[in-house]
Every structure is written in C-alpha cells, then in structure tokens.
Amino acid sequence: MTLPYAEPLIRRDPPPRVIPEPPRVGEPGGDPCGLCDWLASFEESEHRPPLWMDDNWALCPAKDVTIPGVVWLASRGHHDSFADLPAAQATSYGPVVARIERAILGLGGIARVHVYRWGDGSAHFHVWFYPRPLGMLEARREMLPLWADLLPPAPEEDVADADRKIAAAMAAGD
C-alpha cells in the first residue's frame, strides 16, 4: 500500500465537531435530490443516460474518469442507505453487484473491482465500482480512490469503450 503523496506528510488535528450536522442533498432541509430528478428525466437531459437499468437499479457512467471502467449504481427510488432499501430491492443487490463486477472484470487488465459506499454525499443510495488495474499494487485496498483522484484523465475514447462494454455485458445478463 503506497500513498499517492510524497513524504513528509504532517498530521493535522481534526477541527471541532459540527453538531447538528447540516442536511445532505435529498434530506429534509437540504437541496432537492438531483439524482431523483435525473433518473426521472434523463432522456430530456444533457447528461448521459444510465448504462443499464431495471426496475430497482440504474448503473451510471462516471464523470472525470481516470481509470476506465469506474461506474456507480443507484437505487431507482429515493432510499438513503442499505437499511432503507425495500426487502425485494435489498435482495436483488448482491446479484446485481456480481453482474457489474463480472462486466468490469470482462474489460481485461483488471485485477480487482472495489465497491465503495460513502454515506456523506447525497441521501440517495448509490455505490461506486472502481476497477484496480492489473499490476497497480500501490492502489490496493483503500488507496485506489486516492490514486484515482490524482491520476490524469483517461482518454475519452477509452472511457467510452469501457462504458459500452459494461453496458453490453449488463444487457446480455438480462
């Protein structure tokens, strides 16, 4: 495991805690959920549509990609976390994640697929899939999103090709 920074790093003290915490996007008192709006109207939007969808899930292309194959999965309905998913949707999560992982591994040159859920952004359930390129040992474990943040942008044609292949693999699994 290697940090994508040069030494010496200097430890900082954490700032004082903020209580109560400010509302997140999609929570009462916060900004409206843009993801709900996008999922309801992506056909009329300037944004790219999901790569794949079913009644419960939408697999979405990432923006500003540094590693081709980075995608994210969102619930079609507005749910905040695993604890909030309806039972049938929670049951469908594992098989969908397995399909996405197989689709990303099918790109070739991928050692592992990392699945991340950070709960501090939008209050709309979504998880990220990061492919760790084969041989990129410095990006193992929790280092992958740090490295992905600092790498140069991937060529647009490589990202589009990976997205097309993932979409095709997901469609073939329907």
Query: Which residues, other chains included, contact 58 with Cβ-Cβ below 8 Å and sequence gap of 6+?
Result: 39, 50, 52, 73, 74, 75, 76
Q: At residue 26, what is the residue type?
A: G
* Structural domains of the chain sorted by starting position, each given as residue range(s) with its CATH number in brackets: 34-172 (3.30.428.10)
| pTM score of the predicted model | 0.91
H or E element in which residue 126 lies: strand 126-133
Residue 83 class from Cβ within 10 Å (0-12 exposed, 13-18 middle, 19+ buried)? exposed
Per residue in 42-86, pLDDT (tens digit) is 665 566 789 999 999 999 999 999 999 999 999 999 999 999 999
Sign of dihedral through CA atoms 81, 85, 91, 97?
Answer: negative
